[in-house]
Chains A and B, each alone.
Chain A
Amino acid sequence: MQFTVLAASIKRGVGEHGTAIRLFSSAIGLLIAGQLCYRKALLTATQHSLNSLWQVSQSLWGILGIGLILLSLIPWLALLARRQLSFFYPLWSIATIIVVLINWWWFGGGMSWQTLAGIGLVFVGVSLLFRGGHSI
C-alpha cells in the first residue's frame, strides 16, 4: 500500500517537473563528461599557468572537454528560464558525488566512512533545498 503511494507520488513529481529533471540531468551529465575530459588534458601540463591552460585547451582531450562544457550550458540556460538558480546551483554538488563514485567504481579510488557520511549529508542538504522551494 505504502509502496503504491510512494510510486504514485514519484510519478506525479516526475510528471510535474519532467522537463526540469531532463534539462538538469543533461546539463550535469555533459558537465561531468566535459570535466573528466578536461582533467585528463590538464594532467599533461608541465607548468601551471594561463599559458599552459591555453596550450592544454588545444589538445584533443582539451577540445573535447571544452566542447562538452559549452554544450552543457545549453540545457542549463533553458533550465534557468524556468527554475530558481538558488535551488539548482547547489545541486551541482551532485556532480562531485558522481565523479567520486566513478573514481571509486572504475578506477579503484578511495571510499571511506567520511566519503559516505559526506554523500549522506549532501542528500540531506538537497532534501532541505527541495522543501525550500524551486519553482519560478
Chain B
Amino acid sequence: MQTWWIIGAVLAMMLGNLIVRAGMVGVQMAHTNRLSTLQVLRYGIRRWQVWLGMLLLFVGIVAWISSVVWWRLELSYTLLGLSYVATIVFAWWFVGETLTLEKMFGAIIIVVGILLIIRGSGF
C-alpha cells in the first residue's frame, strides 16, 4: 500500500505537470502577440487541460508530502528524482520540448545529489 501510494503520488505530479504544460503551450500557440502574465493566466484557466493538470498536481503534492512524513523517505525522494528524468523524456515526446544530453545528465546528477542530502541529513 505504501509503495503504491508513493508511486501514485509521483505519477500524479509528473502527469499533472505535463498536462498543465501542454495546456499552457496551447495558450501561447493560440496567440501570436506576446501575452502578459495576467493574460496568460486568464486564457489558461479556460482550458480543461490546465484544470485537470492542476488537480493531479495538487493531489500528487499532498500525497507525496504525506508519504515523506509518514513512511519511506528514501523511496519517495528516489521516485521523485526519477520522475525528473522521465519528465524530460515525456516533455520532449508529448510537448515537443528540447531533449539534450546536458538536461539528462543534469537531472541524473540532481537525483544522486538529493539522495546524498537525504541520507546525510536524515531529514
Which of A's residues lie within 8 Å of B, judged by CB?
19, 23, 31, 35, 38-39, 42-43, 45, 48, 53, 56-57, 66, 69-70, 73-74, 76-78, 80-82, 84-87, 89-90, 92-93, 96-97, 99-100, 103-104, 109-129, 131-133, 136
Contacts and interface: CB of A to CB of B under 8 A. Distances in A.
Given A69-B62, A128-B109, A114 B41 contact: no
Q: How large is the interface on B (under 10, 10 to 19, 20 to 34, 35 or more residues)?
A: 35 or more
B12 interface: no
Given A86-B97, A124-B109, A126-B110, A100 B58 contact: no
B58 A69 contact: yes
**Chain B contact surface mostly:** helix
A123 B113 CA distance: 9
B6 interface: no
Contacts of A116: 120
Nearest to A49: B1
A77 B115 CA distance: 28
| Most chain B beta carbons < 10 A, residue from A42, A93, A124 | A93
Contact of A112 (B65, B70, B109, B121): B121
